[in-house]
Amino acid sequence: MLEVNNLQAWYGRTQALFDVSFQLEAGRCLALIGTNGAGKTTTIRAILGLVLTAGKISIAGRDVSSLPTHSRVRETGISVVHEGRGMFQRMSVRENILVGLASSLHRRLDDALDQFPALSGRLTEKVSQLSGGQQQMVALARAVAQRPRLLLLDEPSLGLAPAIVDEIYAHLARLRDTGLTILLVEQSVPRASAFADELCLIRTGHSVTRIATENKVEVDQLVSLAFGN
Ligand code: ATP
């Protein structure tokens, strides 16, 4: 579904990614892990075409490396939940879920509410009146309404209390179990390894290694390699 080969990325003259390569098969979840500043968010931005890149990015067998962001999103079915959620605070829950969609709005809203029924009674409320966890649900509901084939999730647990993170991950597990392909960025290795099929360690802009999460010994070795403990 997603193939990234020798990806490099720049912010102006500053190179942030040097050599990131991985594959993500359809229906699987791969988590990018690594320390602050390693290049995880930049990898998500590069897949979306939001930073200057070199290397190859293929989605569903198609080379999208030279496509603009809107074509990548529209033509290949990528949805993204950005770090910090990207909510429109003055807009309602309903407007945030449906933003950018032009047709079949009722059905799209139903899709989102099937996954997040707790939002049904809050559709007309302004997002600014919601808690961080509820806003994260709106962000996920918006991604679901886009009927993605590939979901990019950048630190969905950031800034949330552990009990709320459990709730968010329970929702995410239901989405994953529908067969959605997910690329996750997650600081917490225990969370990432409980949720994803595979982990890919990013270090100073390089993808260092990729392992299956079912192998607990390798996960422990990866944690030592990544965080030195
Ligand atoms: P974190 O877990 O802290 O979000 P990360 O692994 O997602 O870290 P990135 O945000 O991808 O890391 O950053 C990778 C590198 O790119 C870092 O050296 C960072 O300082 C640099 N960088 C990120 N955003 C910018 C920017 N807008 N302009 C210049 N450099 C940037």
State if residue 229 touches ligand 1 by the CB under 6 angstroms criterion. no
pLDDT in tens, the chain (229 residues): 899 999 999 999 999 999 999 999 999 999 999 989 999 999 999 999 999 999 999 999 999 999 999 888 888 889 889 887 888 888 899 888 888 777 777 788 888 898 889 899 999 999 999 988 899 999 999 998 888 999 999 999 888 888 899 999 998 999 899 899 999 999 888 899 999 999 999 999 999 888 899 988 888 888 887 777 5
Record the tokens describing residue 80, joined without a space: 């993204």
Domain ranges of the chain: 85-144
State if residue 222 touches ligand 1 by the CB under 6 angstroms criterion. no
Q: How far is the CA of 42 from the centre of ligand 1 (A)?
A: 6
Atom of ligand 1 nearest to the CA of 42: 11
Record the tokens describing residue 102, joined without a space: 């032009």
State if residue 11 touches ligand 1 by the CB under 6 angstroms criterion. yes
Q: What is d(CA 141, CA 109) in angstroms, rounded to the nearest whole number?
A: 8
Neighbour-count burial of 196, counting CB atoms closer than 10 A to its CB (0-12 exposed, 13-18 middle, 19+ buried): buried
- Give 150's strand partners: 78, 181
Q: How far is the CA of 20 from the centre of ligand 1 (A)?
A: 14
pLDDT of residue 229: 53
pLDDT of residue 140: 92
Record the tokens describing residue 108, joined without a space: 């799209």
Q: How far is the CA of 185 from the centre of ligand 1 (A)?
A: 13
Q: What is d(CA 142, CA 93) in angstroms, rounded to the nearest whole number?
A: 9
CA end-to-end span of the chain, whole Å?
Answer: 34
